[in-house]
């Protein structure tokens, strides 16, 4: 059974009416945390925010950034049809990985994007990556390049989902360890989240949804901990 691990928390706060709270009066259960004001980038709170740790499905905010970038560049459109290869399709049978059923084997970018953002569907993220870059490996290379562009040099990125490589079988990034996972610091995640919100604010129209539909089925948000904080991407780990 999956459980929420309070290991890393990133908060992007909107607006200017921010209450003043001293560090002595405020704390969070997460081991690593940061709160950032979206417009200015001002750090409002941090707790061991520079140590790189496993980020699980928080990975998908970087994946989604590159999807929106491809949409902006015209490489794909929301109505573009995406064929589901055997790799993401077979992953939908793994009960340990968050997913949506993909029996149709063909969905639009819009459907897959919403499934990725609302229910953290791993196969949807992989399918989008394969559509944009040709393979998950090549998409991961794009992810790594984007992080370097933003000055993030302490990252470990080996897949588009945040799953442990053990879950992916023979589909892991060449040269990565069989049990390797993506790692970023809370500070790094804040940089990614702020860039996503600044460059593609339309993402908030999806992330604020408590439920959505995928191929006629109701799907539910995995942002359990912070209702009303649309920029938060909750991480699920075993």
Please check the confidence at residue 232 and state whether its pLDDT lies above 50: no
120 a catalytic residue = yes
**Burial of residue 132, with CB atoms counted within 10 A of its CB: 0-12 exposed, 13-18 middle, 19 or more buried:** buried
Contact 112, 128 (CB under 8 A): yes
- Could you tell me the sign of the dihedral formed by the alpha carbons of 104, 110, 111, 115, in that order? positive
Find out whether 37 and 18 touch, Cβ atoms under 8 Å. yes
Residue 78: pLDDT over 80: yes
What does the pLDDT read at residue 9?
57
Active-site residue, from 57, 98, 185, 221: 57
Instruction: Give the pLDDT confidence of 140-183 residue by residue, as tens digits.
Output: 999 999 999 999 999 999 999 999 999 999 999 999 999 999 99
On the question of pLDDT at 22 being above 80, the answer is no
Q: Residues for the chain: how many in total? A: 238
The pLDDT of residue 57 is above 90: yes
Please say whether the dihedral angle defined by the alpha carbons of residues 56, 61, 66 and 67, taken in this order, is positive or negative. positive
Tell me what pLDDT residue 24 has.
55
Catalytic pick from 2, 7, 31, 60?
60
pLDDT at 25: 62
Q: Which domains does the chain show, CATH number per domain?
A: 33-220 (3.40.710.10)
201, 208 Cβ separation under 8 angstroms: no
Question: Residue 42's pLDDT band (boundaries 50, 70, 90)?
Answer: confident
Alpha-carbon distance of 96 to 27, in angstroms, equals: 31
Which of the two residues, 31 and 63, has the higher pLDDT score? 63
Active site residue 60: yes
- Whole-number Å distance between alpha carbons of 103 and 215: 10
Cα-to-chain-centroid distance, residue 68 = 13
Q: In angstroms, how far is the first alpha carbon of the chain from the final one?
A: 7
Active site includes 142? no
Place of tokens 């790799």: 87
CA angle centred on 40, ends 191 and 117, rounded to 5°: 45
Beta strands in 190-237 (DSSP E): 211-214, 217-220, 236-237
> One of 3, 42, 85, 120 is an active-site residue; which one?
120
For residue 152, what are the CA distances in angstroms to 103, 139, 177, 229, 238?
38, 17, 21, 24, 27
Average pLDDT (35-59) is: 89
Instruction: Give the span between the Cα atoms of 76 and 215, in whole angstroms.
Output: 20
Distance, in Å, from the CA atom of 117 to the CA atom of 146, rounded to the nearest integer, reads 20
Spell out the residues 6+ positions from residue 157 whose beta carbon is closer than 8 angstroms to its own.
59, 62, 140, 143, 144, 147, 182
| In contact, 18 and 44? CB cutoff 8 Å | yes
Query: Does 101 score more than 90 pLDDT?
Result: yes
82/193 Cα distance (integer angstroms)? 26
């Amino acid at each position: 059974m999956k459980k929420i691990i309070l290991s890393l928390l990133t908060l992007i706060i909107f607006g200017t009416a921010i209450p003043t709270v001293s560090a002595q009066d405020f704390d969070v259960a997460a081991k690593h945390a940061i709160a950032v004001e979206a417009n200015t980038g001002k750090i409002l709170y941090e707790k061991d925010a520079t140590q790189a740790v496993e980020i699980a499905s928080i990975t998908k905010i970087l994946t989604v950034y590159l999807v929106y970038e491809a949409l902006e560049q015209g490489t794909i459109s929301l109505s573009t049809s995406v064929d589901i290869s055997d790799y993401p399709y077979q992953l939908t049978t793994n009960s340990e990985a968050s997913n949506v059923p993909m029996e149709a084997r063909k969905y639009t970018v819009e459907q897959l994007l919403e499934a990725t953002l609302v229910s953290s569907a791993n196969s949807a993220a992989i399918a989008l990556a394969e559509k944009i870059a040709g393979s998950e490996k090549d998409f991961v290379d794009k992810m790594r390049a984007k992080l370097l562009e933003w000055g993030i040099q302490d990252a470990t990125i080996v897949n588009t989902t945040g799953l442990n490589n053990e879950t992916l079988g023979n589909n892991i990034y060449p040269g990565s360890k069989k049990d390797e996972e993506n790692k970023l610091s809370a500070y790094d995640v804040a940089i990614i989240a702020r860039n996503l919100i600044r460059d593609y604010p339309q993402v908030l129209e999806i992330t604020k949804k408590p439920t959505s539909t995928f191929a006629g089925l109701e799907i539910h948000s995995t942002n359990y901990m912070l209702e009303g904080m649309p920029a938060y991407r909750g991480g699920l780990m075993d």
